Structure 1
Amino acid sequence: MTTITSGRVRSFLDEGGRTGKVGYLGADGRPLVVPVWFAVDGDRIVFNTAADSAKGTAIARDPRLTMCVDEQSGRTFVQVQGTAETTAEHGEVLRVATAVAARYVAEGKVERVAGKIAGPGQLAVSLRPTRVVTSGDLSEQDS
C-alpha cells in the first residue's frame, strides 16, 4: 500500500514549492477545491486555515478531505484522501505554520510569515491519510 512516507511519494511531496489542492464539501454539499500551502509531518499532511473561513467551517462540519499535489504538467500527482483533525491551540498552530512557511519562503522570513499565519482565529489542520493514490513514476513500487 502506498503511503505518504513511501520514498518517492515523500520526495515528491517535499520537492519545491508545490501547493496542495484541498477538496472539501461546501455547506450546500457541492464539492469545492482550494490551493493551500502544506507540509508533511510524519505520516500526515498539515496546513493552516482560519476557523471561520469556508474551509474551516466545512472541516468542522465534515472532516473528510482530499488533497492533490501535482507537478506543473499534471501527469504526476499524489492524491491523499483522509480525515482532518483540527486544533486552535496556539502552540500547535504556530508549529504547523512554521513548518509550512519553511517550505515556501526564504529562511530569514520564516518566523515573521509563520507569526502572521498563526494569528488569532487560525487552526492547525492535520490530514490523516486513509488512502493515497499516485500516478506517473510514483505508481511504481519503492526500491
Structure 2
Amino acid sequence: MTKDQWQKFISEGTHTAKLSTVRADGSPHIAPVWFLLDGDDIVFNTGADTVKGRNMARDGRVSLCVDDDRPPFSFVTLQGRAELSDRLEEVRDWATRIAARYMGEDLAEQYGARNGVPGELLVRVRIEKVIALADVAD
C-alpha cells in the first residue's frame, strides 16, 4: 500500500489497533486500543496504571497492527515511540475525538468524560516504520 492507502485503511471504520508494548522482562504485551491518526502520528488513551501504560512509561517502543480479518485480508503494522501526556485538557479532548469514531458523535462526550479523567494518559506514537499489505489472499 502507498502511504495514502494505508492511512485511509487505518482511518476507516472502527478497526482497533493491537498495541504491543515491552514488559520489564523484555516479553511482549498486546492489547487492543481505540485510536486516531493525527497527521503522521497514532493517538490513543490508556490508564497510567495499566500494563500498557506502565510499559510505555518505562520503554516507549511500541508496535501496532490494524487488520481486516475478512478475505482477501489486509493489514498495516506500525512501529514507533510513544510519548505520554497526562495534561487533562488534552487527554479529555482526544478521548472525546476517539470516542466519536468508535461510539458515534451522540456518545462522544459521555465517553470523553469517562476516559478523560486524572490517571488517564494521552499516548502519541511517532511512527518510524510501516509495513502495509492489501489483499494478501489474492
TM-score scaled to structure 2, two decimals? 0.91
Instruction: Say whether residues 1:32 and 2:29 are aligned partners.
Output: yes
**Share of identical aligned residues, percent?**
42
Give 1:86-105 correspondences, 5 Å limit. 86-105=84-103
Secondary structure of residue in 2 paired with 1:120: coil
CA distance in 2, matches of 1:25, 1:77: 22
Displacement, 1:120? 1.8
Structure 1 residue ranges without an equivalent (≥5): 139-143
Displacement, 1:137? 5.2
Q: In the alignment, residue 91 of structure 2 is paired with which amino acid?
A: V
Instruction: Say whether residues 1:48 and 2:45 are aligned partners.
Output: yes
Structure 2 residue ranges without an equivalent (≥5): none
1:82 equivalent in structure 2: 80
How many residue pairs match? The answer is: 135
CA distance in 2, matches of 1:137, 1:91: 40
Q: In the alignment, residue 120 of structure 2 is paired with which amino acid?
A: Q
Secondary structure of residue in 2 paired with 1:77: strand
TM-score scaled to structure 1, two decimals? 0.88
Match of 2:105 among 86, 104, 107: 107
Please give the per-residue CA displacement for 1:2-59, whole angstroms capped at 9, x wherever unaligned: 6xxx221111011111000001111221111110011111110000011111111100
